[in-house]
Amino acid sequence: MNEVHLAKPAAAPPPPPIAPAVNAAVNQNADVSVLLKDGRLEITATVDADGLKMLKQMLEKYEGILEILKSKQ
């Protein structure tokens, strides 16, 4: 006689957390809002010294985006 044994499927692992250390650092050091409209940036920021470093890095990236957009015109 043939026997079949069914086992419950293994539970899926929980999703990895969304980098809480990074989010905490951003929230503590900077409140930055960037809006790209008509090829121009509207930037509002309240930052401390660490947030200013982060903002400088962000601006370099946005500069590259603006250059790409300008070349598409």
- pLDDT (average), residues 13-26: 57
Crossing angle for the helix pair 20-29 and 49-71, to the nearest 10 degrees: 100
Q: What is the pLDDT of residue 23?
A: 47
d(CA 13, CA 16): 9
pTM: 0.54
Q: What is the pLDDT of residue 72?
A: 79
pLDDT digits (tens, 9 = 90+) for 21-72: 544 444 566 788 889 888 888 999 998 888 889 899 999 999 999 999 888 7
